[in-house]
Amino acid sequence: MGYQESLVTMFPAFNFDKLIKECAKLKKEGFYNDPWTVIPLSVVIFKQKVGNMSAGTKALWVCGDRSFHGFKGLVDSSKTRGFNFSTLKFTPADSVIFGLADKSVQGIDFSSNDKISENSFMKRYPFHKYAQEVRQKNDKVR
């Protein structure tokens, strides 16, 4: 047991926004108030290769006890979600980014809940901001 941060990616990538919509719904329902879950904090989009993340990869940055970094810790697996759980991959963030001294995160504001920040390696959205953009994009499609 112990605290860990992970980057959650999804394949195929076009289902990523479905995952974000589901996590936003679960957050609103209070699912992440349970200590046996991982909490979505940010969405990052890699502009260039960083560690094993290729340019263009979207990842959900989550945190919580490392023993819950899996499908059941992120989504309510008792319900049908519109995507396959086996398409989610959890990668420890520290295996991609080697601490705040790593140039790939310099200038990225992880402390702000409202500020979108970016550098030449990635763009970081607070989770609720990205979820709001997904919701607005879906409303325009209808």
Q: What is the pLDDT of residue 93?
A: 92
Mean pLDDT of 12-30: 90
Residue 141 has pLDDT above 60, yes or no: no
Nearest Cα residue to 90 out of 40, 35, 33, 31: 40
pTM assigned to the model: 0.89
Pair 4, 69: CB distance under 8 Å = yes
Distance (Å, whole) CA 121 – CA 89: 21
CB 122 within 8 A of CB 102: no
User: What proportions of the chain, in percent to the nearest 5, are helix, strand and coil?
Assistant: 35, 25, 35
* Least trusted range by pLDDT, from 17-31, 41-55, 69-83, 92-106: 69-83
Distance CA 46, CA 23 (A): 21
In tens, the pLDDT along 119-130 reads 999 999 999 999
